[in-house]
Amino acid sequence: MQRRNFLKTSASAAFLAGTLPACAVPSTQEEKAYTHQGRINNYQKFSVIDPGLKITGIETWSRPDVAVVRVTADNGMEGWGQISTYDADISATVLHRKIASLVLGSDPADIDDLADRCVESNLKFPWSYVLRALGGVETAIWDLYGKIRQQPVCELLGGEVKAVPIYGSSMSRSITAEDEIERFTRLRDEKGIKSFKFRVGKEAGRNGDAWPGRTEEMVKGVGSALADSCTMLVDANSCYTPDRAIEVGKMLQDYGISQFEEPCPYWEIEWTAEVTAALNLRVSGGEQDNDLAQWRRIVSIPAVDIIQPDPLYLGGVLRTVRAAQMAAEKGIPCVPHSANLCMVTVFALHIMRAIPNAGPYLEYTIEEGGINQTARQLYSPGLEIVDGRLDMPSSPGWGVEFKKEWLDKADYQVSNADS
């Protein structure tokens, strides 16, 4: 906060004196670069495989909660990906209606052009479902790359196969402080997890709470019990106006909580920036944001101290890396959002090991049921935590195989280049 206030004071003094700090001198027209779709200056397009192939088929296996995608090239090789969870069957329909025709017959080598074309050709249908559908195809193409090159995706991105520290992420707003402390303590002792996140407020709650006084009970109880031995984080899921968020944030500081996620409605980035400037803990956010122009605004303000793009909400690996690159230019760490144990955690794991501004840990849900029960039936090998770190699959591509038993019970659709 002191650094922020110094910068504000310095800029104001310079303005009153009729001058600007050197860093604020406007660029000349020749020096200014107009980048688009999240590209940074001097952006380097991905070139992973040689050109010459064509995508001939896109298949989906979908259920309401999860949808799996397979792309096939004209040399017979395949890559597998996943559409974002929740209402995934809707996204699968969008894939075949709005994305497939833009991808079929294309050369998969130019993934930058392919991803941008799918977004720009759907300018009248922006963001959520279109990008969830694109994410399914795009992640399948990265798996295809890995199969062709016989390398894991993280290496194709310039990283290395290596375990990643995790924080145990609670998704519950019905749990009491006593029960949350019990399971955090057990996981700390049994799994070696040294960082945990719990929920405060209500999702998009307009300053509400799951029950009266719950946020205070959780912060004081969990913070007092565990902040000395673990790094503690909270998530407000777009609950608060800035005044209430700052009030909660100061209580977090008092009880040793070090990270405050999505304190304000995520679309109100100026509100979040106000909270970030007022507090001496890390404010994070961005999981819902899927417009790369909005990402440029988020990092330019900056609205947060840590960005959390979701690889499947955002439209795939490429667009997530672009968001990370924008943040890296501003010195902002990136922790890709991975709130369930379906493939988004696998994708985030590979990205974390490749980006230069990776944060200190990756999100790993500690919930057992619901979508995470589905995840255990979806692919193998399953993810394993060893000494507080998540092992990374090292086989080519994503390093996992989708289970036939799950695919056989899903709704099947196919789009071919000649259909």
- pLDDT digit string, tens, across residues 2-15: 434 433 333 333 32
pLDDT at 32: 72
Per CATH, domain 155-401 is 3.40.640.10: no
Q: Which CATH superfamily, name and number, covers 55-151?
A: Enolase-like, N-terminal domain (3.30.390.10)
pLDDT at 419: 54
**Does the structure show a pLDDT above 50 at 268?**
yes
- pLDDT digit string, tens, across residues 370-417: 999 999 999 999 999 999 999 999 999 999 999 999 999 999 999 999
- pLDDT digit string, tens, across residues 312-356: 999 999 999 999 999 999 999 999 999 999 999 999 999 999 999
CATH 3.30.390.10 domain span(s) along the chain: 55-151
Q: What is the 3-state secondary structure (H, E, C) of the chain?
A: CHHHHHHHHHHHHHHHCCCCCHHHCCCCCCCCCCCCCCCCCCCCCCCCCCCCCCEEEEEEEECCCCEEEEEEECCCCEEEEEECCCCHHHHHHHHHHHHHHHHCCCCCCCHHHHHHHHHHCCCCCCCHHHHHHHHHHHHHHHHHHHHHHCCEHHHHCCCCCCCEEEEEECCCCCCCHHHHHHHHHHHHHHHCCCEEEEECCCCCCCCCCCCCCHHHHHHHHHHHHHCCCCEEEEECCCCCCHHHHHHHHHHHHHCCCCEEECCCCCCCHHHHHHHHHHCCCEEEECCCCCCHHHHHHHHHCCCCCEECCCCCCCCCHHHHHHHHHHHHHCCCCECCCCCCCCHHHHHHHHHHCCCCCECCCEEEECCCCCHHHHHHHHEECCCCEECCEECCCCCCECCCEECHHHHHCCEEEEEECCC
Q: What is the pTM of this model?
A: 0.92
CATH 3.20.20.120 domain span(s) along the chain: 155-401
pLDDT at 20: 30
> pLDDT confidence of 31, banded at 50, 70, 90?
low
